[in-house]
């Protein structure tokens, strides 16, 4: 390991420990090489998120002087410029983006996958809102599903193994759906809503009023619907996990148990789901780690769950303007 790579890995390790205790815990289950590459990928994703939202590891950054805040499109341009330099193998001077360059030297990650991730930031910068369920799932593909595909490549899945890559994408989508249902109040405070406009219309919730107290009862079944989708995508992803080496399978299942628990908790709490931000305690994470170890040993049948109606290839087609059948 070169000294430059050592420094990048250490910076990435600190980033994941600060930004996500859940993913940091799950990453420890990988072998050393895979773990370090996961950290490098996380560092880039975290940095892009932070630039897009003017945050520090998902938390409010120090106060920005009046008049110096960048417009969303300018923040997107910064993300894109640094990422394109990294994709070209150039040194950016920013460890998180240099981490991506290092990762691409070690893992064959197609330019198109990186572009699909960047497209998610472009949607947010354009103040985009999902109209339909398919739109919501396409957003989930950009911001998390495509990252799941990259994660699978980092874990050594062959780039030609489309079915396993599809299921890796499904896990990212499941995670993002959990984020959406957990963060309804937080997103609304930032002027965002990722629940489909068609769902809101069916529930008679006017635009921009999703968190009004008198609409909470109507919101609960809508969120339960999203949680059901999350379960479907998670079930598909668990099939893909059975094809991985034991330690990788354990890590993926641990992440599914820990992060999937968020959606399950939100659904169980019903109208109280947003009284406090749903979190997973350290003790529950230990339980999930033990549970996932047992799951990883059992190796269920590979055909235990079908693909959801819209998976990686269908959603990628939508992202690139190709017509596909949309559910609902």
CA 325 to chain centre: 24
Domain segments of the chain as ranges: 1-62+69-107, 127-328
Query: What percent of the chain lies above the pLDDT cut of 70?
Result: 92
Average pLDDT value for the chain: 88
pLDDT digits 0-9 by tens, 213-239:
999 999 999 999 999 999 999 999 999
pLDDT for the residue numbered 154:
96
pLDDT for the residue numbered 148:
96
pLDDT for the residue numbered 286:
86
pLDDT for the residue numbered 227:
94
pLDDT for the residue numbered 275:
81
pLDDT for the residue numbered 3:
52
pLDDT digits 0-9 by tens, 58-77:
565 554 444 457 898 999 99
Cβ atoms of 251 and 22 closer than 8 Å: no
Beta strands in the chain (DSSP E): 55-56, 59-60
pLDDT for the residue numbered 65:
46
Find all residues with CB under 8 Å of 269, minimum gap 6, and list them: 275, 278
- Domain formed by 127-328, architecture: Orthogonal Bundle (1.10)
pLDDT for the residue numbered 207:
86
3-state secondary structure of 133: helix
pLDDT for the residue numbered 66:
41
Cβ atoms of 172 and 139 closer than 8 Å: no
pLDDT for the residue numbered 299:
63
Phi and psi at residue 205, to the nearest 5° = -100, 115
316 vs 328: CA distance, rounded Å: 19
Find all residues with CB under 8 Å of 317, minimum gap 6, and list them: 323, 324
Low-confidence ranges of the chain (pLDDT < 50): 1, 63-67, 327-328
DSSP class of 141: I
pLDDT digits 0-9 by tens, 162-200:
999 999 999 999 999 999 999 999 999 888 999 999 999
């Amino acid at each position: 390991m070169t000294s430059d790579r050592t420094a990048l890995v250490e910076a990435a390790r600190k980033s994941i420990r600060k930004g996500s205790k859940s993913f940091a815990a799950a990453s420890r289950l990988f072998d050393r090489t895979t773990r370090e590459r996961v950290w490098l990928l996380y560092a880039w994703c975290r940095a892009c998120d932070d630039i897009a939202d003017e945050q520090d590891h998902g938390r409010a950054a120090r106060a920005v002087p009046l008049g110096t805040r960048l417009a969303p499109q300018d923040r997107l341009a910064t993300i894109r410029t640094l990422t394109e330099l990294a994709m070209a193998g150039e040194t950016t001077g920013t460890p998180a983006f240099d981490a991506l360059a290092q990762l691409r030297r070690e893992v064959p990650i197609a330019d198109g996958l990186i572009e699909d991730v960047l497209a998610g930031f472009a949607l947010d910068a354009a103040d985009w809102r999902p109209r339909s369920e398919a739109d919501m799932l396409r957003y989930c593909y950009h911001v998390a599903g495509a990252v799941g595909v990259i994660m699978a490549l980092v874990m050594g899945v062959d780039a030609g193994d489309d079915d396993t890559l599809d299921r890796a994408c499904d896990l990212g989508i499941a995670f993002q759906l959990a984020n959406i249902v957990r963060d309804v109040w937080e997103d609304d405070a930032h002027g965002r809503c990722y629940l489909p406009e068609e769902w809101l219309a069916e529930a008679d919730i006017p635009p921009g009023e999703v968190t009004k107290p008198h609409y909470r009862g109507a919101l609960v079944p809508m969120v339960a619907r999203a949680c059901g989708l999350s379960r479907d995508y998670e079930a598909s992803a668990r099939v893909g996990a059975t094809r991985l080496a034991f330690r990788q399978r354990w890590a993926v299942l641990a992440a599914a148990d820990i992060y999937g628990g968020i959606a399950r908790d939100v659904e169980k709490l019903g109208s109280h789901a947003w009284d406090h931000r749903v979190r997973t305690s350290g003790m529950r994470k230990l339980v999930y780690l033990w549970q996932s170890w047992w799951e990883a040993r059992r190796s269920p049948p590979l055909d235990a769950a079908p693909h959801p109606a819209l998976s990686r290839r269908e959603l990628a087609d939508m992202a690139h303007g190709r017509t596909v059948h949309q559910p609902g």
